[in-house]
Amino acid sequence: MIIPVRCFTCGKVIGNKWETYLSLLSASMDEGDAMDELGLKRYCCRRMVLTHVDLIEKLLNYNTEEGEEVEVNRIVEKEMTDVES
């Protein structure tokens, strides 16, 4: 989903390092070197960044509220016509 703001184990703030980490990786830097550059020395913090899977962009493609809203409107219209009859 979204990178956690803090490391689950030690509580160090890591959420602000995600975009920089991705830019370092896109510049062909090794994962370990990128984490060293960001100051992530503890293995718990490194684990948080290294194993994070960024799914938020993929989940935004499945906007179900719009479909549910149409369904609810159809049900309400049906109920209104039944009441008027």
Residue 13: beta bridge partners?
Answer: 6
Helical (H) or strand (E) element with 58: helix 56-60
State the helix-helix crossing angle for 43-50 and 31-38, rounded to 10 degrees.
120
Tens digits of residue pLDDT in 10-53: 999 999 999 999 999 999 999 999 999 999 999 999 999 999 98
pTM above threshold 0.75: no
- CATH number listed for the domain at residues 15-84: 1.10.10.60
Q: Write the Ramachandran bin of 54: left for phi over 0, alpha for psi from -120 to 50, otherwise beta.
A: beta
Per domain, the residue ranges of the chain are 15-84
Region label for 25, one of left (φ > 0), alpha (ψ between -120 and 50) or beta (otherwise): alpha
Poorest-pLDDT segment among 2-6, 16-20, 65-69, 75-79: 65-69
The phi and psi torsions of 6 (rounded to 5 degrees) equal -125, 155
